[in-house]
């Protein structure tokens, strides 16, 4: 039965991927990429990888679709149609694809317990993580503790992306150009947005509360800093969409927002440095407290908080800087 | 009692699936944006809530049922608002609903 569901989901995935390449309307393409991510999230759920599914649903289907749409408000809605075919490119793509498929023949079968990846460090993590780290969600203990360096790297990547976007888009402000995302101003559009405003007033607190739950429940169930940050940012972006950018900027002034982007990453790296100064290795949280598991808990809590703060503020400031630019 | 709940749940699940299919058919076959929006609304509200209630009956009195109830509350309050917002945006951007069949040829 599960294989049947897999097949249907993968078939949908191929259809959506082809549709993404064929569609010329860029709004439709943005929504289709969201659908693609949602299907991927379903496949991850079927494979019991709920943490990854959660991230894919929140990041891929949720926030990146919103960021795509915010980008599209600055550009055109339609892709230029190409009427000639580039046979060389087709041949290259087919050759590369064929080589990759040929390469997969040598790989271990799907779900093979004797595959090298299941024989390397994974058994050790599964055996000792409940006693060594003491966190019920094994994904969190691998991601935040055993693989703390990698996660620090990922957080730095997000930070760097945010810096690049801000450097490229932040130059405009002093001209006072009209924003692409103006809040409802006149009487009529105020009334049109009435239902949305009432609805969002009920739901934004719940969204933010859910984000905090995901943040601090990550040790016990699926969730953690990445998902929580994205959900928190979604709440703020919803507020900006309904009430206008100016009011959202009034709630979180850009200088505080940009400060928090750096603060999250510094909190992460600082936790690592603290454990270095308390007779441990870099990011070896057991040094943070007298008892090893207490130290691990504290360290994971702090670095997840750092990740959450950075991700939430990065997403928010990328959205603000895209939608804050005037329509050219 | 158990079998009654079981059959009720399957009845709800299959009617929910039926309305989802009807909504999908409507999106493909109905003539203009606003009527397609109506069809999509059926999938969003009636289809998904029937499926969710069916699943709640399947899971009995448990934490899962409570979670499903919360998803149901969230869906029945956000989906109509989303439908409203999309239709409103279409109206503001100047899309006129199709009123009669003659406009097809015009």
B44, B3 in Cβ contact below 8 A?
Answer: no
Q: Cα distance from B1 to chain A (closest Cα, Å)?
A: 28
Residues of B in contact with A189 (CB under 8 A): 92
The model's pTM = 0.85
Is the Cβ pair B84, A203 closer than 8 Å?
Answer: no
- Give the pLDDT of residue A260: 93
Exposed, middle or buried: residue A235 (CB in 10 Å: 0-12, 13-18, 19+)? buried
Q: How many angstroms separate the CA atoms of A202 and A208, rounded?
A: 11
Q: How many angstroms separate the CA atoms of A52 and A42, rounded?
A: 10
- Give the pLDDT of residue A147: 87
Is the Cβ pair B78, A196 closer than 8 Å?
Answer: no
Residues of B in contact with A203 (CB under 8 A): 77-78
Residue of A nearest to B76 (CA): A199
Scored b (16 or more CB within 10 A) or e, A139-158 reads bbbbbbbbbbeebbebbeeb
Q: What backbone torsions phi and psi does residue A25 show, to the nearest 5 degrees?
A: -75, 115
* Helix, strand, coil percentages for chain B (3-state, nearest 5): 85, 0, 15
Q: How many angstroms separate the CA atoms of A42 and A62, rounded?
A: 14
Long-range CB contacts for residues B90-97, cutoff 8 Å, separation at least 24: B90/B33, B90/B34, B90/B37, B92/A189, B92/A192, B95/B33, B97/B32, B97/B33, B97/B34, B97/B35
| Beta-carbon-side half-sphere exposure of residue B91 (alpha carbons within 13 Å) | 11
Q: What backbone torsions phi and psi does residue A78 show, to the nearest 5 degrees?
A: -120, 140
Give the model's confidence band at B17: pLDDT under 50 very low, under 70 low, under 90 confident, else very high: very high
Summarize pLDDT for B27-49 with one digit per residue, the tens. Answer: 999 888 899 999 998 888 899 99
Q: Which residue has the tokens 């969190």?
A: A140
A269, A277 in Cβ contact below 8 A?
Answer: no
Q: Which residues contact A250 (CB under 8 A, 6 or more apart)?
A: none
Quote the tokens at residue A9. 């989901």
Q: Which residues contact A208 (CB under 8 A, 6 or more apart)?
A: A232, A235
Is the Cβ pair B92, A199 closer than 8 Å?
Answer: no
> What is the residue-wise DSSP string for A133-198?
T--S-HHHIIIIIITHHHHHHHHHHHHHHHHHHHHHHTT-GGG-PPPSSPPP-SHHHHHHTHHHHH
Q: Cα distance from A300 to chain B (closest Cα, Å)?
A: 27
| Beta-carbon-side half-sphere exposure of residue A261 (alpha carbons within 13 Å) | 24
Exposed, middle or buried: residue A55 (CB in 10 Å: 0-12, 13-18, 19+)? buried
Coil, helix or strand for A25?
A: strand
- Give the pLDDT of residue A177: 46
Average pLDDT across chain B, whole number:
87
Instruction: Give whole-number Cα distances, A193 to A74, A149, A187, A201, in Å.
Output: 23, 46, 10, 12
- Which segments in chain A show pLDDT lower than 70? 171-192, 326-328
Q: Which residues contact A276 (CB under 8 A, 6 or more apart)?
A: A282
- Give the pLDDT of residue A269: 93
* Among B residues 61-80, those touching chain A with beta carbons less than 8 Å apart: 77-78
Residue of A nearest to B81 (CA): A196
Q: How many angstroms separate the CA atoms of A235 and A254, rounded?
A: 17
- Give the pLDDT of residue A192: 63
Is the Cβ pair B81, A196 closer than 8 Å?
Answer: yes
């Amino acid at each position: 039965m599960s294989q049947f569901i897999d097949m249907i989901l993968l078939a949908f995935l191929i259809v959506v991927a082809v549709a993404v390449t064929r569609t010329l309307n860029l709004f439709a393409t943005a929504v289709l990429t969201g659908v693609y991510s949602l299907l991927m999230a379903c496949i991850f759920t079927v494979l019991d990888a709920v943490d990854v599914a959660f991230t894919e649903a929140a990041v891929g289907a949720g926030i990146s679709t919103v960021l795509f749409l915010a980008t599209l408000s600055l550009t055109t809605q339609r892709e230029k149609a190409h009427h000639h075919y580039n046979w060389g490119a087709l041949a290259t793509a087919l050759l590369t694809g064929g080589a990759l498929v040929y390469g997969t023949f040598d790989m271990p079968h799907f779900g093979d317990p004797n595959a090298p990846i299941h024989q390397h460090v994974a058994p050790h993590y599964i055996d000792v993580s409940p006693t060594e780290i003491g966190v019920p969600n094994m994904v969190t203990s691998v991601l935040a503790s055993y693989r703390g360096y990698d996660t620090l790297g990922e957080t730095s990547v997000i930070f760097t992306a945010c810096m690049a976007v801000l450097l490229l888009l932040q130059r405009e402000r002093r001209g006072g150009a009209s924003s692409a995302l103006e809040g409802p101003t006149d009487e009529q559009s105020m009334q049109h947005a009435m239902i949305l405003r009432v609805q969002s007033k009920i739901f934004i607190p719940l969204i933010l509360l859910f984000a905090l739950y995901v943040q601090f429940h990550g040790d016990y169930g699926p969730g953690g800093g990445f998902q929580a940050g994205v959900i928190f940012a979604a709440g703020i972006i919803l507020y900006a969409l309904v009430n206008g950018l100016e009011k959202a900027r009034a709630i979180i002034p850009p200088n505080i927002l940009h400060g928090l982007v750096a603060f999250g990453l510094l909190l992460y790296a600082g936790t690592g440095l603290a454990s270095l100064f308390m007779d441990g290795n870099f990011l070896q949280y057991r040094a943070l407290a007298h008892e090893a598991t207490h130290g691990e808990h504290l360290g994971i809590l702090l670095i997840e908080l750092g990740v959450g703060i950075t991700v939430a503020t990065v997403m928010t400031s990328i959205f603000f800087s895209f939608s804050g630019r005037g329509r050219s | 009692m158990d079998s009654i709940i079981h059959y009720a749940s399957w009845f709800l699940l299959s009617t929910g699936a039926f309305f989802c299919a009807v909504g999908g058919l409507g999106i493909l076959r109905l003539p203009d944006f606003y009527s397609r929006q109506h069809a999509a609304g059926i999938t969003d509200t009636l289809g998904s809530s029937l499926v969710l209630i069916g699943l709640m009956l399947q899971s009995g009195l448990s934490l899962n049922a409570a979670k499903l109830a919360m998803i149901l509350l969230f869906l029945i309050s956000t989906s109509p608002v989303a439908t409203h917002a999309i239709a409103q945006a279409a109206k503001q951007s100047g899309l006129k609903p199709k009123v009669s069949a003659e406009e097809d040829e015009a």
